[in-house]
Structure 1
Amino acid sequence: MAAQTQARDLFRAAYENRYTWDGDFPGYVADVELRQGDEVHTGQVRINSDLGVEVTDVADETVQESLYTQMRDVVTHRKHTPFEKAHGSSKFTLGKLDPSGSQEIIVEGDAMGSNYCVRDQQIALVSRVMGRMAFIIHHKKSLETGSGYISSDYSAVFRNPKTNEIIRQMEFEDTYEPIGNYYVLTRQIVRTHEQGETILTDIQFSNVKLLQPAAV
């Protein structure tokens, strides 16, 4: 029981050390430019105070859908969800401790089959199986905001969970900047390695403006 409590406390400390937007987050709007090879796409993105996402004025529908998915990912990581609500029903046990100090945390009761590693009060690795796709995310570097950390350099490896064959590998470099009282994504560089090809996607956000809080 003591080991379970230790595993839970270690993971909880890392989980609660992540930077998230508070309940007063007003949302924001920004211009977006996506560059991929010779292609350049522009438009606008909006995250509302309720964390709903809108992407508009992007001529290419596939690119618009991709940007929408990317902004939903941003919301997922910045949304504040209390630990007990997110993980209260899960059971945590200690796994291996590697020489770097990364402690494996094995989770039971998680719908997505998640396991983690934590190091220096940060989540260093996330491993999940979702249907016909398994993935591992490695956290490499972070931005310290004074109110928690933001993962700024990380990679993802996607595999077939039955054969363990690598399907796709991705590397991310995220830049967050303070806008008013909140840190907001202003650039993301993604390198996607798939079927022997590497695609570089550079997404930049400009003219970022916080929305005005709704009148009470």
Structure 2
Amino acid sequence: MKNLKEQSCKDIFKNAYEKRYTWNTDFKGYKGKCTYLFEDNSYEGEFLLGEDFKPEIKNIDEENIKKSIASQLFEVCIHRVKREFNSVHSENNFNLLKSSENGIEMNVSGRNEGDKYRVKDDCINMVYRKIHGTIIEIFVEEFFDTGVGFLSKKYTSQQINPKTLESNSQKIEYKDEFINIGKKDYWILNSRSIKYLNQNQEEEIQKFVFEDLSLLK
């Protein structure tokens, strides 16, 4: 039988997990116009994101820009997939690390040994996960309540070396805006700003804008 702390942490995490915003299972994809802004440069094109989550960027010739836009679309949509809690975390246990004004922090034992999460106000505001041999650490500063689930609106992301546990990338700041399209509460990324320091320790901002959005049938 699980001890009380382990059981309650799992319940707390499950509740927050199930309150994340996800798309309906009948999602067919969407399309629209895309704009990439960096310094004084602007690139405008069109995109189509099918139900296979493979973005297609049109009317932009620069391959690096197309890849950058496509990666943002893919990264956002992959987090909108609805996956039942038990299918993802049935082999994990959640153990209390500490509780503070920032939330309830817990680590994972079992299948995803070493992962950590923090939950506050029914939202997961810290993620510390090993993905493809690298630890990704995310802190969410602000959430957007869609009415049918929460979306991360303002957050930071950084890579951690799993051997030294030291950062091996700079901290990147994200700010997202969303818009509701369709008749079934489909909240779609409207814009994303990415802020970071370049090699000269100067602040740079990339911005992605997605407009004229419509669902595929």
The TM-score, its normalising length taken from structure 1, stands at 0.90
In the TM superposition, residue 199 of structure 1 has moved relative to its aligned partner by: 1.6
Which residue is equivalent to 1:141? 142
Aligned identity (percent) is: 27
Contact 2:140 2:154 in 1 (8 A): yes
Q: CA RMSD in A?
A: 1.9
CA distance in structure 2 between the aligned counterparts of 1:65 and 1:71, rounded to whole angstroms? 10
Q: Does 1:204 align with 2:209?
A: yes
Which residue is equivalent to 1:96? 98
4+ residue runs over 6 A deviation: none
Instruction: Return closer, same or farther for 1:56/1:89 CA change in 2, 3 Å cut-off.
Output: farther
Which residue is equivalent to 1:48? 50
Over residues 141-200 of structure 1, what are the superposed CA-to-partner deviations in whole Å (9 max), with x where a residue is unaligned?
111111011111111123334261452111111001110121111111110224323220
Q: Does 1:155 align with 2:159?
A: no
CA distance in structure 2 between the aligned counterparts of 1:113 and 1:53, rounded to whole angstroms? 33
CA distance in structure 2 between the aligned counterparts of 1:6 and 1:46, rounded to whole angstroms? 42
Over residues 39-93 of structure 1, what are the superposed CA-to-partner deviations in whole Å (9 max), with x where a residue is unaligned?
2122222222343432333211111112222111111211111111111111211
Which residue is equivalent to 2:77? 75
CA distance in structure 1 between the aligned counterparts of 2:115 and 2:19, rounded to whole angstroms? 19
In the TM superposition, residue 131 of structure 1 has moved relative to its aligned partner by: 5.2
Where structure 2 has 5 or more consecutive residues not aligned to the other structure, the ranges are none
Instruction: Return closer, same or farther for 1:165/1:23 CA change in 2, 3 Å cut-off.
Output: closer
The TM-score, its normalising length taken from structure 2, stands at 0.89
Query: Among 36, 39, 44, which residue is 1:37 paired with?
Result: 39
Residue aligned with 2:43, SS: strand
Contact 2:137 2:158 in 1 (8 A): yes
Instruction: Return closer, same or farther for 1:92/1:112 CA change in 2, 3 Å cut-off.
Output: closer
In the TM superposition, residue 111 of structure 1 has moved relative to its aligned partner by: 4.5
Contact 1:139 1:155 in 2 (8 A): yes
CA distance in structure 2 between the aligned counterparts of 1:111 and 1:57, rounded to whole angstroms? 42
Aligned pairs (5 A) from 1:172-191: 172-180=174-182, 181=184, 182-191=186-195
Supply the AA of the counterpart residue of 2:30: Y
Supply the AA of the counterpart residue of 2:204: I
Which residue is equivalent to 2:19? 17
Aligned pairs (5 A) from 1:101-140: 101-111=102-112, 113-130=114-131, 133-140=134-141
Contact 1:159 1:168 in 2 (8 A): no
Where structure 1 has 5 or more consecutive residues not aligned to the other structure, the ranges are none
